[in-house]
Chain A
Amino acid sequence: MSDLETGHFSIDDLENVQITIGKIVGAIEKKAKEEGVEVGPTPKPGISGLRDWDYTLLSRYQPVYTPVCDQCCYCTFGKCDLSDNKEGACGINMEAHQARETLLRVITGAAAHAGHGRHILHHLIHLYGEDKPIEVGPSNLIAPNTQAVTGIKPETLGDLEEVMDYVEEQLTQLLATIHAGQEGAAIDFESKILHGGMLDHVGMEVSDLAQISCLGMPKSDPEAPLVEIGMGCIDSSKPVLVVIGHNVAGVTNIMDYIHDHGLEDKMELAGLCCTAIDMTRYQTDQGQKPQAKVIGTLAKELKMIRSGVPDVIVVDEQCVRADVLDEAKKLSIPVITTNEKIMYGLRNRSKDSAADIIEDLSTFKEPGALILDFDVLGEVAPELAIKMSKIREEMGIKALPSEEELQELSAKCVQCGACEMDCPDNLPIMAAMRAGVDKDFSKFEYLHDKCIACGRCDQACPKDIPVLNMIEKASQKLIREEKGLMRAGRGQISDPEIREEGVNLVLGTTPGIVAMVGCSNYPDGTKDLYTVADEMLKRNYIVVMSGCSAMDLGMYKNEDGETLYEKYPAKFLAGNLINVGSCVSNSHITGTAIKVAAIFAQRNVSGNYEEIADYITNRIGAVGVAWGAYSQKAASIASGCNRLGIPVVVGPHGSKYRRALIGKPYKEDDWKVYDARDGSEMPIPASPEFLLTTAETIEELLPMLAKNCIRPSDNNMGRMIKLTHYMELSQKYLGHRPDDWYKFVRTETDLPLAKREELLKILEAEHGWEIDWKRKKILSGPSMKSDVSAQPTNVKRLCKEGC
């Protein structure tokens, strides 16, 4: 019998009959065998497939639960008080419930990315067909997350459908475990959290592979163009069309319409959040100029709307404020929703003519419309913006208070403190109000960068003072100057780049990768990102950006008027600054680590997740930073990094994720691995100390980053470089030499070169180490040996036979 293949078949004798074969049992294994690819032990793992690996991680990095609420109110047995780790009516205790709550957030985030992925994949298959090849740059390993997890090596858009089938099925299984009367052990919820995070990176990868392949986005391009960013770069004298969200599918039709009708110079097209990033990637892979501007992050949404500048707002999905329609209505700005995930109760006008929709919205018969037909959307949005611009100008729309009104509003304040207490960052609003009475509005200006524009102050004020509008009005000069440059998202790191840099990362001579990802809920303003990135870049770390962090980094300039994107090159090399792209491009960060294992170390990648994760855990000095993490997606992204052994630090607001994974450096037994050469146990440094934790300030964060890039595989030069940065950053930002520096020393050549003699003296005097002063060598003292041939592994089965 001949082998069946997937595809569509007709049978000659039967008219109007077509047989479609979608999937063939064992096809992955068969295809891999034909291509000589060895499939590892866990292609498409189920919930328990990688449980042993999770348990290994969780034995070193224990969950730390910090509940946001002491109750469980999931079912009608309760509400149940779980304080002091009590059990509720269903038998679940506080620990397990907190783990369950975390799981819910992680799979919510993963579902947001996967839902996005499925939507854009369907859309692009509809436009380009299932056989459209995946083209993401000069790489053979084009889908590292997908391949490591599922064993599938996708080549076409159609191949990605099977990947999404797997992700969606697993997410459903995970969601089922949230139900009352399911899982009861915190440790297994933890394993499920890591599973959800892993799935998230596959879903994100599918999204970005599909859009890069079809939408002309940069393909592993270190020369991706620079893009204008900031509220100040919007020319409000032109009609302004603002797009908000994450899914660029429909927006590309708008961009095509603007281009085809020569409207580029006649109107402004600008975006907020990741749709903005992907708009600027659209059709730039052949060196074309970006066709849109970036306003900024979620933190700019309310400020932008309340400025009254947009003439039309188009929203798609994710990180879009729930009150966009209400806020826009107040300023006569029509809103168009374009995705089933956000419809705001608007009438579906997808089958109506563009002319009818424009007429109804421009005469305010309806405040907005749901348009799911992107051809209709493409015409309506720009034409409506042009029309509304004139109408709104004639109406004399007034958005923000005048200076006189600012003073009057300040005087209305009774200094009750409700706004400050409700402000997520407890910002000093009362002091600004006091100064405002005397026409000193500088304290409102001070609040501008620190404020995340959530609007809770407005809601809290018993006098109905529009606090946010006052901050925005007082900061108009600053806002006008908010003009920066961001490098457009370049997509994944290519195989040749990995070949060039992989060895330096594994040996530590490139001190590490600092991946600054996530949202804009910063504890102390956006400039902190710049400070962290600049400090680490100066020290030759590779800094990788994505999503909202990538945007905010472009807002600041140094004394020469340069942004960091202009100052630093964008290759995958030490001291380079990379923007991989939007939220879904985060998969390229984990993908990079997987590629190092697969390409540099020649580890089998297909369906071989545990071995790959084990390699990364012990050898790749990478730390994620989600300084302004607020979303469920950030939680799932971090969890996906964690399953690969990549630690993540979130800002202090991240403590509200209610669970961290932190090790105990003082428990020596927790810091041992096997040497795969003979299965013997070997001690390792307590780094990374955590898989997920928080830092209080960037001054605390900076030495944490350097320390947690240390890995067992560092050679002496690498360890010396990493230790030097850790000690210097501690001295610079914490004012002292760290207490634990000597624990990372294996031999005298690990010591920072400039201070070697001084440190040897300290080792002898304070720690009792024996030093040969003639040769300046350490004779005894270190708890670890320096052995570059050692093969550290956490997985016993990876040791040589007989171990």
Chain B
Amino acid sequence: MVDTTKNTQIYTTWGRKMAKPVNPNVAGKMIAKAKRPLLVVGSEILKDEKLVEKTIAIAKKGIPVAATGHSITALVDKDVDAKYINVHSLGHFLGDKNWAGLDGQGPYDTVIFLGHKKYYLDQVLAGLKNFTDLKNLAIERHFMQNATLSFGNLKPEVHLEALDELIENI
């Protein structure tokens, strides 16, 4: 079992309300229990084929995917429910209870983030943290202090191991 809760050091920004560190088995179960989960995938997955594989594996569990940046290029023709959207727009729409979602099926309750630039996602999460009541789960390599729950800072190989464990628990 991978412990993803040890290193939660932050380097730049500050807030009193911080993410709780979470282990992959707990995160996986949380995704499994969510009524309307959404996996938000960023372009950083394209830098590592194994991250693409993990993304597809999570999506194949029936989780719809919001593909931000140009991450959609790795997901077309992969038989997953993925749609392109700009992450800043997505952050805006997620705060609108009248938004019907990417598939018209209604608002989401749990949003999972993978494959984003740390500083960029930090800002998107800051908006979601302060202006929505969504559960935001960061399964990134870095501790995302503005999420609701987040993995800690991880080495790349440990991160991949943690994602495997998370997938097993969905």
Contacts and interface: CB of A to CB of B under 8 A. Distances in A.
State the main secondary structure of chain A at its contact with B: mixed
Interface stretch (B22-30, B88-96, B158-166): B88-96
A520 to B, nearest CB: 16
A697 B119 contact: no
B126 A696 contact: no
Given A64-B127, A655-B123, A426 B92 contact: no
B129 A83 contact: yes
A693 B89 CA distance: 8
A656 B120 CA distance: 8
B76 interface: yes
A762 B29 CA distance: 40
A652 B70 contact: no
B119 A64 contact: no
A407 to B, nearest CB: 24
A690 B76 CA distance: 26
Interface residues of A, number: 49
Contact of A699 (B43, B98, B119): B43
B88 A64 contact: yes
Contacts of B17: 70, 81, 83-84
Nearest to B47: A428
Interface stretch (A438-446, A471-479, A608-616, A660-668): A660-668
A355 interface: no
Nearest to A695: B86
Given A664-B93, A696-B42, A697-B43, A69 B70 contact: no
A366 interface: no
- Residue with the greatest number of chain A CB neighbours at <10 A, chosen from B13, B89, B116, B142: B89
B68 interface: yes
A655 B43 CA distance: 16
A255 B169 CA distance: 70
Interface stretch (A192-200, A356-364, A555-563, A731-739): A731-739
Interface string B54-82: 00000000000000111011001000000
A696 B16 CA distance: 28
Interface in B89-137: 89, 91-93, 96, 98-100, 116-120, 123-124, 126-127, 129-131
Contacts of B116: 696
A658 B131 CA distance: 13
Interface in B31-46: 42-43
Contacts of B153: 417, 421
B87 interface: yes
A66 B124 contact: yes
B76 A735 contact: yes
A739 B126 contact: no
Interface string B145-158: 00000000100000
Given A66-B91, A68-B126, A422-B11, A734 B16 contact: no
B16 A83 contact: yes
- Residue with the greatest number of chain A CB neighbours at <10 A, chosen from B13, B70, B93, B96: B70
A81 B129 CA distance: 13
A67 interface: yes
Interface in A721-762: 733-736, 738-739
Given A652-B117, A655-B123, A693 B88 contact: yes
A662 B88 contact: yes
Contacts of B11: 421-422
A632 B96 CA distance: 30
A664 B84 contact: no
A226 interface: no
Nearest to B15: A70
Contacts of A690: 89
Given A70-B130, A83-B130, A658-B123, A700 B70 contact: yes
B72 A704 contact: no
Contacts of A739: 83-84
A694 interface: yes
A69 B92 contact: no
Contact of A700 (B12, B86, B93): B86
A735 to B, nearest CB: 4
Nearest to A650: B88
B91 A652 contact: no
B18 to A, nearest CB: 10
B120 to A, nearest CB: 4
Contact of B130 (A85, A421, A655, A736): A85
Contacts of A700: 43, 68-70, 86
Interface in A427-484: none
A82 B14 CA distance: 12
Contacts of B120: 652-653, 655, 694, 696
Contact of A704 (B9, B42, B86): B86
A670 B117 CA distance: 32
A741 to B, nearest CB: 12
Interface string A672-714: 0000000000000000011001111101100010000000000
22 contacts: A66-B91, A66-B124, A67-B127, A68-B13, A69-B14, A69-B15, A70-B15, A70-B126, A424-B119, A523-B117, A653-B119, A655-B88, A655-B124, A693-B88, A694-B87, A696-B42, A696-B43, A696-B116, A700-B43, A734-B84, A735-B72, A739-B84
Given A421-B153, A696-B43, A736-B72, 19 more contacts: A62-B92, A66-B126, A67-B126, A69-B15, A70-B16, A71-B14, A85-B130, A421-B9, A426-B118, A652-B117, A660-B88, A664-B93, A689-B89, A693-B86, A693-B88, A696-B87, A696-B116, A696-B120, A700-B68
